[in-house]
Amino acid sequence: MNTAFDVVIVGAGLVGLSLAPALSRSSLSVALVDRGSMTDEEPDTESLDARIYAISPGSAAFLRGVGAWQELRCDRIAAIESMHVEGDDGGSIDFSAYDLGERALAWIVEERELRFALLRTVRRAGAQMIADAALDALTWSKSAAALRLGDGRTLETRLIVGADGARSWVREAAGIVVEAKPYGQTAVVANFSCERAHHGRAYQWFRSDGGVLAWLPLPGRRISMVWSAPDALAQTLVGAPADELSAQVEESGRHTLGKLECITPPSGFPLRFLRLPTSVALRLALVGDAAHGVHPLAGQGVNLGFGDAQALATVLAERGPVDDAGAPILLERYARRRAEPVLAMQAVTDGLARLFGPSTPWLKTLRNAGISAVDRLPLLKRALAQPALR
């Protein structure tokens, strides 16, 4: 087995999986290391994954460029063609893909479907895949980083990439310490069949308790729910029987799609805000949830991660005479390229989460009036939508 690489990626989540083939296209030797399995068994077609992602047109273009988007089965993808957002006191705003000149505002894809497609792409790209790996230690020298595995092997690399999620082992090993701030909310996810057709329309309701309820269209008469609920309510939702959960989600969504029936058990994911002092260090780059955390109300977490992967791959592809993938000048370019879009998205999502938290009556009236005012200004609405699309 090779033990020396240009780039070693730690973490085979969606972002790490997308980065590996993107780097391999630039004639870099790449290893992908993960604590878990990396088997690419075809997903079951008879069931739905409870965990879904809203993939922006920009992210879809990146995934198409690395060869993964083409691997997805068309009948497992749903387009968000329009979106209706309501405030907690009558304000509302609508977005349309047609008005924005897009085929879709986003594409809804199951996590396991996208993971399967990416795994096949990584294998074709020739990246070395090291699964079920125990991560023992990470050390640095001026010329290389060294990742020691639990079985005694040591991988030397010019650049180590931390793609191992919000509780990143790589980030901690590098001494980048940051305290994530909990929102006091848990994202509860589940899928439902619905009585009425959704026609590719997504719905989002800001609630008076500070939570956010979203319905996202799935293929057929089915939707995926993401309810960012206060922790106490989230515990109740996750523990509720299927019929009680369906009734509560149906009522909270104002019976918009008629009767709902829960078809996957609910799961909960605690929400935290994470902003790092830096996403790079000596021979280190962080991507995805290892580099930042955002509230899911805009569905942009994984898209920011794909943006990281695309930016890092582009910087390394355009390295010119610099043959060291971990050279400080390249890492600085990556950090600068990602700083503005990440900070902007964090400002928007965190700001909206706090703006619609429990507050005084006058602020409630003002924020709902603001939503409705933006809906009447097409140019402003288009400007707000563009960062999420790209």
Could you tell me the residue range of the domain that residue 55 belongs to?
4-72+111-180+272-353
Indicate the average pLDDT of the chain.
Answer: 91
Overall average pLDDT of the 362-380 stretch:
72
Whole-angstrom distance, CA of residue 43 vs CA of residue 116: 7
Whole-angstrom distance, CA of residue 287 vs CA of residue 312: 9
**End of a domain among 271, 306, 335?**
271
115-171 pLDDT, tens per residue?
999 999 999 999 999 999 999 999 998 899 999 999 999 999 999 999 999 999 999
- The CATH number that applies at residue 349 is 3.50.50.60
Whole-angstrom distance, CA of residue 66 vs CA of residue 390: 17
Is 390 part of a structural domain of the chain?
no
226-238 pLDDT, tens per residue?
999 999 999 999 9
* Residue 118 sits in the same domain as residue 258: no
* Residue 277 sits in the same domain as residue 267: no
Residue 89 DSSP one-character state: S
SS3 268: strand
Whole-angstrom distance, CA of residue 350 vs CA of residue 236: 25
Is 95 part of a structural domain of the chain?
yes
* Residue 260 sits in the same domain as residue 302: no
Whole-angstrom distance, CA of residue 15 vs CA of residue 26: 18
* Residue 64 sits in the same domain as residue 146: yes
> What residues are paired with 52 via a beta bridge?
110
Whole-angstrom distance, CA of residue 78 vs CA of residue 48: 13
> What residues are paired with 212 via a beta bridge?
206, 228
- CA-to-CA separations, 69 to 64, 122, 135, 287, in angstroms, rounded: 5, 13, 31, 20
